[in-house]
Structure 1
């Protein structure tokens, strides 16, 4: 059964902090685990402004996509958890800068808090040619 499941791992994104993979590729779909704004070297950014945290989380997402042979143009669905709806406009602006003309399905979910006190977490699904 597990033969058709590929676990994706890259040192260019934050290592998993628990019992999960950065991403899992199965039947042409890449499932990217929630990415907090933890840098690839493991350093935390919880004290940094929302914009910096969003950029780090998106950088993690991009690195994982690349490790799986994908780009942001392959994104199908992105779910973003933000600790406060007031960050929605800033996130939308930063996100548009990362994705350009590509507009995957998306949900932005305001939540009361995230792990370690972070302001953002991003998970995604993407298509893969593998």
Structure 2
């Protein structure tokens, strides 16, 4: 099992939070997570559990729209919770668990 720490929408080239709405931030978070998975020899297909932290549950539909483009069915198990705040003013943070791969 591979446990990835929560990622926020930080641009790895600048080290700064990206501009944009929660959909743009969610895309960046998944790009960051995919980079870590790749470095560990895994892919998004190996993900079995996702935890999503949102500052505002009104952002759920936009995050979920992006989520649906990242994974194939059957989707990994997911928990989504609202939090009071995230680092640097991020609107979303995501952590995940991946299986040992193929």
Normalising by structure 2, what TM-score?
0.91
The answer to whether residue 33 in structure 2 is matched with residue 56 in structure 1 is no
The alignment status of 1:76 with 2:48, answered yes or no, reads yes
Where in structure 1 do 4 or more consecutive aligned residues deviate above 4 Å? none
Is the contact made by 1:84 and 1:111 (CA closer than 8 Å) also made in structure 2?
Answer: yes
How many residues align? The count is 101
The higher relative CO (CA closer than 8 Å, separation ≥ 6) is in 2
Unaligned runs of 5+ in 2: none
- Contact persistence 1:36–1:121 (CA under 8 A): yes
Question: Comparing both structures, which one devotes a greater share of its residues to helix?
Answer: 2
**Which residue does 2:65 correspond to in 1?**
93
Larger radius of gyration: 1
Q: Summarize the alignment of residues 1-130 of structure 1 with structure 2, pairs less than 5 Å apart.
A: 29-41=1-13, 42-45=15-18, 47-129=19-101
Deviation by residue 1:59-116 (Cα, 9 ceiling, x = unmatched): 1111111111111111111000000000111111100101122411110111121111
TM-score (norm 1): 0.73
Sort the Cα spacing of 1:51 and 1:129 in 2 relative to 1 into closer, same or farther, 3 A: closer
d(CA) in 2 for partners of 1:119 and 1:74? 25
Q: Distance in 2 between matches of 1:56 and 1:129?
A: 23
Q: Unpaired segments of 5 or more residues in structure 1? A: 1-28
